[in-house]
Amino acid sequence: MTSIPPEPSKIYLLAGLGNPGRQYRDTRHNIGFLVIDRLSERLIGSDKSRATPRVQMRALIYDFRHEGRRVILAKPQTYMNDSGIAVAALARFYKIPLENMVVAHDDVDLPFGTLRLRPGGGSAGQKGIASIIERLGTQDFPRLRMGIGRPPASRLAAAYVLEEFSRSEENELPIILDRAAEAALTFVLEGLNKAMNQFNGIGDTVDED
């Protein structure tokens, strides 16, 4: 018997950006991947049969049902600069309304640990977001900006984001990832405005672009 697909308003795509490969696994640029990992842990729960992702549209994906919603978690495997290839393909394949998609990514313009949900806008130099904007043909999709802080003056941002977290950052990271996962699930269950009001901007003084 063919299963009935969920209503468009009940299907969500939560995508985290990063680079595939062991050498990038614990770097600042991969904090989007780490959020997806934390979300998958939350949604798998005690059902370990759902613990293995599958490859689809050049992404690792999990496909969950959560409180009446279908939730697709995705980690593009195309490297950061081409993230739009996988994200746009998944959004179109599953016919996901853009307002039901959120993209988690690192942001050097926010202090480490700061979360900032926003409904859309430019890429602010984040090349994964720029790729998604290009592939979708719009910048009107929600994203979850995750602050990793600015590099010291002596260090280039391109090198800084590919470094592993410092020891003090590693100590704080579990709490940050838990909060980001909770923000994403609040987005799914209660909408963007509720998630923004609840989770935005601790320590955030950055102007919107």
pLDDT of residue 15: 98
pLDDT of residue 142: 98
Is residue 177 scored above 90 in pLDDT?
Answer: yes
- In the chain the domains, ranked by start, together with CATH numbers, are 8-199 (3.40.50.1470)
Which of these, 107, 99, 159, 109, lies nearest to 129 by C-alpha position? 107
105 is known as an active-site residue: no
pLDDT of residue 152: 85
pLDDT band at 32 (very low <50, low <70, confident <90, very high): very high
Is residue 209 scored above 70 in pLDDT?
Answer: no
pLDDT of residue 205: 43
Among the listed residues 29, 70, 105, 116, the single catalytic one is 29
- Answer whether 146's CB lies under 8 Å from 105's CB: yes
What's the predicted TM-score (pTM) here? 0.90
pLDDT in tens, 113-163: 999 999 999 998 899 999 999 999 999 999 999 999 998 887 888 999 999
pLDDT in tens, 51-107: 789 999 999 999 999 999 999 999 999 999 999 999 999 999 999 999 999 999 999
